[in-house]
Structure 1
Amino acid sequence: MMPRSLKGLVCWIGCVGWVLGAVFSSEAATLGSHYPFGGEGVLAATVPPPGFHYRVYNTWYNPTTLKDDNGDDEDVGLDLDVFSMVHRFIHVTEKKILGADYFYDIIVPLVDKDLTIAAAGVSDSQSLALGDTVFELFGLAWHQPRWDAAFALAVIAPTGEYDLDKPASPGLGYWSGMLTLGGTVYFDEARSWSFSALTRTLVNGEQDDTDVRPGSEFVVEYGLGKEIPINDKLLVRPGISGCAYWQFEDDSDDGPGTLADERKESYALGAEINFFWLPPTLFQVNLRALREFGAKNTVQGSQFVLTLTKSW
């Protein structure tokens, strides 16, 4: 039997998935988001044991359509390709608060976008550049034999360049606050079968140039997985993962090309597989593919995520 700390690391996909870059035109306050979903899935709400952890999320996103308020296709000649490389530096401390491990982390996204909207005469691109940075300085992680839980508070700072006249800007031009809550349930004593769900609530500030404050947002990412020992050095965990997104508050005003009361909504479902090399290597590779559906007032497409994790 593995000790709990090592078992937590073996199971970990991560507590908080991070900024993958604004995936649509920065001209429209309501169309961007500081948390495009899909970064996490199986064991999303299980935080690693005390130590230092480095993760890099590599995401390829190719939305093929823009959806209107009824969920119908908008014929605007959309051509969008996004690649993001998000670096996350995590420290889970030995300090206990309310019986939980205290942790903090910083997330630094690099974003590459190529955008064309024929109907609007828009054509813009941005090579890999700094996006908006996440500072999560207060997080709590609980671990019990049959469940894990996580709570965290973060501030997202507009460190990426934002220009109203550059639709492919890597930044969104406003601050956000983010609350994270989630839990994982294990269906057997060996903790090999798990279901996890992680929620984020975002409250946004006013966007530069447009003076529009995007409405508050709610995201849930979830996954059902099974851990399979391959040998004494490798564990494999396949699973089904998905996510959902709702904007639950109107924007403060109409923006360029947007209406304040047209709220965003989207869903995605897919599969993933995680490879974990046991000590002394302590290295993970996670592959996830998701297909979006049911979108309103935003883009819809597919994404592929390759996540690498090294722990000490």
Structure 2
Amino acid sequence: MQVSTRNTLYAGGFVMLSALGNPSMAANGHYVPGVEGLKGSVVPPPGIYYRGYLVHYDIDALRDDQGTKLPDSNTGSVSALVNRFIWMTDKKILNADYGMEAIIPLQRTSLDFGIAGIDSTERGVGDVFVSPLVLGWHGQQWDAVAAAGIWLDTGEYSSTEPASIGKGFRTTMLTLGGTYYPDAAKSWSLSALSRYEIKSKQDETGITPGDSWLVEWGIGKQLDNGLELGVIGYNSWQLENSKGALAGKAEKHALGIEGSYFWPSLMLGLNAAYLNEYEVHNGPSGDMFRLTLTKVF
């Protein structure tokens, strides 16, 4: 393919700006869409819980603001073990179960973007998330959640290192979601989980990424043997342009499948999911593979 000098310069600039804070699975913020899936908006009852998310994201292309694949070979991968600790207390706020949580990600990012001459690999502890407010409501045929927390800029970041594990800025994340069970046996579930992210200024570059909003959703069916299967997806939008940057708004849409099973005797659950990003604007596109282990203490 023959590309004009002007387009090549634009594409190269786009790639560098897209790599700002690392071109992770998220559209332009911290939260990775698609990690919760079926019944993602259901808050567990009082107790202590651990969830381990093993996530692998294969980057197969970089795309511009029209969703067009950029020239050259632009591939990479992001692998992460995300450790989530949840404590739901026996306290009530607004008639909801009250709890708190923390997330500690361990991540490896490898990028090979030919269009920008990037060949970089980094690994380490990513940005940590803490939430002092998790609220869960439970009805006869529905569940709902509201939460607030902050992603801290604890991971290592450098503006000259595209594969930086950290993003170099903080993000306030607000959560709202619900799950509805159409049948009395709760074998069917319809769920949606939304996250709104408000970013701070990136000190090293002076850029303030634009606010973003995403929705994860799932339609699931639990079989008589306890296995739950379903269709999942996510839709993510950057709502405003980043201040101090030339790149346009990022956007991602994906569709996939998920299966899960819970062993009551072990108080242990396992989820497996695959998602394909069928439409992406201003960012990397690819496929996500996820395994989630849940342990109740």
Q: Normalized against structure 1, the TM-score is what?
A: 0.86
Stretches of structure 1 that go unaligned for 5 or more consecutive residues are 1-23
| Alignment-derived partner of residue 126 in structure 1 | 122
Shift of 1:79: 1.8
| Alignment-derived partner of residue 171 in structure 2 | 176
Residues 1:148 and 2:134 are matched in the alignment: no
Query: Secondary structure of 2:227's partner?
Result: strand
Change (3 A) 1:47 1:248: same
| Alignment-derived partner of residue 295 in structure 1 | 280
Shift of 1:76: 4.1
| Alignment-derived partner of residue 242 in structure 2 | 251
- Pick aligned residue for 1:277 from 243, 259, 263: 263
Structure 2 residue identity aligned to 1:242: G
| Alignment-derived partner of residue 263 in structure 1 | 249
Cα contact 1:26–1:162 (8 A) shared by 2 = no
Change (3 A) 1:213 1:155: same
Structure 2 residue identity aligned to 1:196: S
| Alignment-derived partner of residue 100 in structure 1 | 96
Residues 1:117 and 2:113 are matched in the alignment: yes
Query: Secondary structure of 2:134's partner?
Result: strand
| Alignment-derived partner of residue 187 in structure 1 | 182
| Alignment-derived partner of residue 55 in structure 2 | 59
Shift of 1:253: 1.7
Cα contact 2:29–2:199 (8 A) shared by 1 = no
Cα contact 1:25–1:31 (8 A) shared by 2 = no
Cα contact 2:22–2:165 (8 A) shared by 1 = no
Change (3 A) 1:97 1:302: same
Shift of 1:35: 1.4
Query: Secondary structure of 1:119's partner?
Result: helix
Identity among equivalent pairs (%): 38
Shift of 1:164: 1.0
How many Å separate the matches in 1 of 2:59 and 2:77? Answer: 7
Cα contact 1:206–1:213 (8 A) shared by 2 = yes
Residues 1:240 and 2:234 are matched in the alignment: no
Shift of 1:121: 1.6
Query: Secondary structure of 1:229's partner?
Result: coil
| Alignment-derived partner of residue 70 in structure 1 | 66
Change (3 A) 1:101 1:293: same
Structure 1 moving runs of 4+ over 3 Å: 26-32
Residues 1:211 and 2:202 are matched in the alignment: no
Structure 2 residue identity aligned to 1:202: E
| Alignment-derived partner of residue 162 in structure 1 | 157
Stretches of structure 2 that go unaligned for 5 or more consecutive residues are 1-17
Cα contact 2:252–2:279 (8 A) shared by 1 = yes
Moved more, 300-309 or 68-77: 68-77
Shift of 1:60: 0.6
Deviations 1:81-109 (A, max 9, x none): 11010000000111011110001100000
Shift of 1:44: 0.8
Structure 1 residue identity aligned to 2:228: R
Cα contact 1:26–1:32 (8 A) shared by 2 = no
Shift of 1:208: 2.6
Query: Secondary structure of 2:115's partner?
Result: helix
Query: Secondary structure of 2:220's partner?
Result: strand
Query: Secondary structure of 1:36's partner?
Result: coil
Query: Secondary structure of 2:82's partner?
Result: strand
Change (3 A) 1:100 1:28: closer
Shift of 1:294: 1.5
Cα contact 1:27–1:165 (8 A) shared by 2 = no
| Alignment-derived partner of residue 200 in structure 1 | 195
| Alignment-derived partner of residue 16 in structure 1 | none
How many Å separate the matches in 2 of 1:119 and 1:288? Answer: 31
Deviations 1:16-65 (A, max 9, x none): xxxxxxxx723679974201211011101111111010010000100101
Shift of 1:69: 1.0
